[in-house]
Amino acid sequence: MTEKESEYAYKKKSAWEILTKTQIKKAFDFAEEYKTFLNDVKTEREAVQRINEMAKTSKKKIIMNRGKEAAIIVPGKKPVHEGLRIIISHIDSPRLDLKQVPLYEDSESNLALFETHYYGGIKKFQWVVIPLALHGVVVKKDGEKITFTLGENENEPVFSVPDLLPHLSHEVQDTKKINEAIKGESLDIMVGSRPVSGDFKEKIKTAILDKLHTDYGITEEDFISAELEAVPAHKARDLGFDKSLIGAYGQDDRACAFASLKAILDVKNPGHTALSLFVDKEEIGSEGSATAQVTTFLRSILKKLDPSVDVDSVMLKSKVISADVNGAVTPNYTDVFELKNASSLGNGIVMSKYTGHGGKYAANDASAEYVAEIRTMLNKAKIPWQTGELGKVDKGGGGTVAKYFSRLGMEVIDLGPAVMSMHSPFEVTSKADIYSSYLAYNAFLKT
């Protein structure tokens, strides 16, 4: 190995110094497209829709599952029985879901509110007092589906979780532990305040129901069969004087979803058949029918590609990138990171041999052989990369979908950009890392 090759990970060289001038220009252009994707796509359903449109435009083969999972396939020169090159990312992000019976009137505060149940691992204090938009679907009793987006355009109203003024929060919030100061049950969203005139018991709630019926034909019972998600209403923005960073909601894991989408759309005639898979419900443990734990979708794809293959032996020969983000070293909190092994913004795509927590529990631990293969691929293509481990050994940890695919006998490794303020309404990434991720995924899918 040459001295130059060893620089990429171990000297923690900045990706901005490794990428060429032309590549940096491309990284900034790529970021513009990425920000548009983040602004237009804030839910798993919207992601599948956009992925479908972009696949169709690029004349790529796409298979979808329940509007919440998608696979783009590019046939390889080698037969399917020699295995696939698969990248899997998730398209769900933490948020506030509406409960089944969400609407109520609080007569003391003169407000109508929606009850919520938070989705995924959030720090609750980050979700109060910010403008929220509502996205999702309402399915009426006759099966008619109403697709709902409100709060994204300047002229549309937004929604918000109220919080107590500091003058009165001493006893009920300030002296409590930060994770107990705001309760899940208090993450209710303000949705209106103007009563109807007339002789009604709950005049504000009645007015909201009237408005919903006029505008969308929705009745109160229709909320029972709905999936409405309150997400941050703000747009993706450049961050910093140098515009080197992106601040936006939902970068975990749409950074990887977008990079792997662009990577497979740019693949032509790969050696092995290339597959980019986009799944739902990672943030709540990959439980459900359109998730990484359900292998029937993948099995059906393999059978469609070649009905004669033995699906299990194809999986044994397949190689996978689990495309998910890692935690970026955070200023003022560097103590929780073991800095030699932690990932930082701007040092390229992060390769994690293993995830899990406390003694590698529930981790996919990639084989040394596979790590070597990926390392060589990245070095040969001069793609900036770094290693990453989520925090000090005893400080916490986290998992990805990697383990569900390694259970099928595939070689799997975690590879994705570092994210600052992960799971917050305003996650931060580096444009150099996002572009490095695209380059890495593209190089992998071409093999």
Q: Which residues bind Mn ion (CB under 5 A)?
A: 252-253, 324
Beta carbon nearer to Mn ion, 229 or 324: 324
Residue 288 tokens read as: 């459900």
Taking CA atoms, 349 is separated from 94, 255, 259, in Å, by 22, 11, 11
Residue 394 tokens read as: 């005893």
Residue 130 tokens read as: 């910010």
Beta carbon nearer to Mn ion, 280 or 324: 324
- Length of the chain as a residue count: 447
Q: CB of 93: closest distance to Mn ion in angstroms?
A: 7
Q: CB of 304: closest distance to Mn ion in angstroms?
A: 28
Residue 12 tokens read as: 């923690």
Q: CB of 41: closest distance to Mn ion in angstroms?
A: 15
Beta carbon nearer to Mn ion, 65 or 352: 352
Cβ proximity of 50 and 40 under 8 Å: yes
Among the listed residues 17, 443, 78, the one whose alpha carbon sits nearest the alpha carbon of residue 267:
443
Beta carbon nearer to Mn ion, 42 or 205: 42
Residue 203 tokens read as: 């005049």
Beta carbon nearer to Mn ion, 324 or 411: 324
Name the residue whose CB lies closest to Mn ion: 253
Residues 6+ apart with CB under 8 A from 12: 344, 347, 386
| Strands of 140-219, DSSP E | 145-150, 189-192
Q: Which residue has the tokens 């007015």?
A: 207
Beta carbon nearer to Mn ion, 256 or 432: 256
Q: CB of 349: closest distance to Mn ion in angstroms?
A: 14
| Strands of 260-402, DSSP E | 273-279, 319-322, 326-327, 349-352, 356-357, 385-387, 397-398
Q: How far apart are CA 342 and CA 418, in angstroms?
A: 10
Cβ proximity of 427 and 234 under 8 Å: no
Q: CB of 209: closest distance to Mn ion in angstroms?
A: 35
Among the listed residues 330, 254, 273, the one whose alpha carbon sits nearest the alpha carbon of residue 91:
254
Q: How far apart are CA 433 and CA 420, in angstroms?
A: 12
Q: How far apart are CA 34 and CA 215, in angstroms?
A: 32
Beta carbon nearer to Mn ion, 83 or 356: 356
Determine the straight-line distance between the first and last CA of the chain, rounded to whole angstroms: 21
Q: CB of 423: closest distance to Mn ion in angstroms?
A: 6
Beta carbon nearer to Mn ion, 102 or 425: 425
Instruction: Report whether the peptide linkage leading into residue 306 is cis, meaning its omega lies within 30 degrees of zero.
Output: no
Phi, psi for residue 146 in degrees, rounded to 5: -105, 120
Q: CB of 243: closest distance to Mn ion in angstroms?
A: 25
Q: CB of 258: closest distance to Mn ion in angstroms?
A: 13
- What 8-state DSSP symbol labels residue 196? P
Q: CB of 120: closest distance to Mn ion in angstroms?
A: 6
Beta carbon nearer to Mn ion, 265 or 390: 390
Q: Which residue has the tokens 């709902």?
A: 148
Beta carbon nearer to Mn ion, 252 or 411: 252
Q: CB of 249: closest distance to Mn ion in angstroms?
A: 13
Cβ proximity of 15 and 430 under 8 Å: yes
Q: CB of 280: closest distance to Mn ion in angstroms?
A: 12
Q: How far apart are CA 130 and CA 151, in angstroms?
A: 12
Beta carbon nearer to Mn ion, 28 or 118: 118
Cβ proximity of 122 and 132 under 8 Å: no
